[in-house]
Amino acid sequence: MSSIVSIHSFRGGTGKSNVTANLATIIASEGRRVGIIDTDIQSPGIHVLFGLDEEKMGRSLNDYLWGRCAIEETAHDVGSGLEAADLGGGAVYLVPSSIKAGEIARVLREGYDVERLNDGFHELVERLNLDYLFIDTHPGLNEETLLSITISDVLLLILRPDRQDYQGTAVTVEVARKLDVPKLLLLINKALPAFDFNALRQQAEQTYQAPVAGILPLSEDLVRLGSSDVFCLRHPEHPWTHEIRRVAEQVTG
């Protein structure tokens, strides 16, 4: 039985793509077949973490949305390129969004068929025989985000310990409850190590009446890496990696 997991935040800059890439890789390392779709079409970026540059990209989600190809033709086997990874029979496939200015401008100008995107999610799961499909969403609430939330088995909401994030997350939680998301989890990211993590967890759980899957510290090592690799592979024994593993257990549990 496959599961669709949406990784979302109300505001940009929460580290959503980094979290998505690391969660997907950790779950794939347990022998599972994992797909990732970058639906942040206006400002794509998760491909960078997997070393997929424009020259190597070839087909993208945009090609599928404009009817140029089938959805599985846009999927790149990025797991095979992770040198430090032992996926134990698992796999990671990435459907990137185009980083070409013309393609982004077309999306902004014309929009796209959200129903076709919905069909693509299900077709990708079936045709690649995925155990998990991760949707790296566009921040905020729009038609695409609402669709992703609606079809998700798990919604992981990322927020920083910041008043603006707290307000926006409250709106998203309310929407998710109205859409009857089966499993709603919170993830607090970029928390200063000096903070009281237990107090942060209690505050968030009381505010949103939802479980906090984990609290990721603001890490100099992560900043230093600069999205040039998947952090959990480069630093498997790092406290940040241990915490993201605990989050993965709750996503798949």
139 torsion bin: left (phi>0), alpha (psi -120 to 50), beta (else): beta
User: What's the pLDDT at 7?
Assistant: 97
For 211-221, what is each residue's pLDDT tens digit? 999 999 999 99
Q: In Å, what is the CA distance from 40 to each residue of 9, 151, 159, 212?
A: 11, 17, 17, 24
Whole-model pTM: value is: 0.94
* CA dist., res. 158 & res. 191, Å (int): 12
Q: In what order do the strands lie in the sheet with 183-191?
A: 76-77, 91-95, 33-38, 132-136, 3-8, 154-159, 183-191, 212-217
User: What's the pLDDT at 67?
Assistant: 94
Contact 245, 26 (CB under 8 A): yes
User: What's the pLDDT at 145?
Assistant: 85
Mean pLDDT, consecutive 10-residue stretches, the chain (253 aa), reads: 94 94 95 95 90 82 95 93 72 94 87 90 96 94 87 96 93 94 97 96 96 97 93 94 97 94
User: What's the pLDDT at 75?
Assistant: 96
